[in-house]
Amino acid sequence: MTDPAPLAGELRLAVHRLTRRLRAERPLDGLTLTQLSALATIWREGPLTAGDLATREGVKPPSITRVLTSLEAEGMITRSADPSDGRQVLVSATRLGAARIEADIRARDAWLAQQIEMLNARDRALLHRASEVLDRLAGQ
C-alpha cells in the first residue's frame, strides 16, 4: 500500500466507532462526559489547579470552574490550598471520585474483554500488535 489515505480514513472511523461504543458502556450516574473526563484527569494527574486542569482538558477557565463546582457538589473532588502558593487552590479526587473512575474503567474493560474473548487467537494477536502501533501513533 503506497497511499496511506484510505487506511487513515478506515482507521479514523474504526477508532471513532469503538470510542462511541465504549462511551455507551459507562455507568449511568448522571455525570456528563465533560465531568467524567475532568474527574479522570484529576484522578490520574492530580492534585491540579483549575488552570492546569483547563489546559489539560482544552477548555476555558470559566468552563472548568462550572465542571469543578458540579463535581464538588457530587462529592467527587475536594479543593485545598496549594502548599507552595497560598493564592492557588488545588483540586483532588475524593475516595468517591476515585471509586467512580475505577468503576468506569472496570465497566469499559469488562465489555471490551468480552468482545475480545469472542475473537480467535489470530485476531487477538493481531489486536495486540495493533494496540502497540496505535499507542505509538498516539504518542507522536
pLDDT in tens, 44-70: 998 999 999 999 999 999 999 999 999
Q: Which of 27-31, 111-115, 127-131 has the lowest average pLDDT?
A: 27-31
Name residues whose C-beta falls within 8 Å of residue 94's C-beta, 6 or more positions apart in sequence.
75, 76, 77, 78
Q: What value, to the nearest 5°, has the Cα angle with vertex 69 and ends 103 and 87?
A: 115
pTM (two decimals): 0.79
Q: Are 76 and 93 in contact (CB under 8 A)?
A: yes
Beta-carbon count within 10 A of 50 CB: 19
* Residue 4: other Cβ atoms inside 10 A: 9
Cell numbers describing residue 127:
489486536
How large is the average pLDDT for residues 13-25? 91
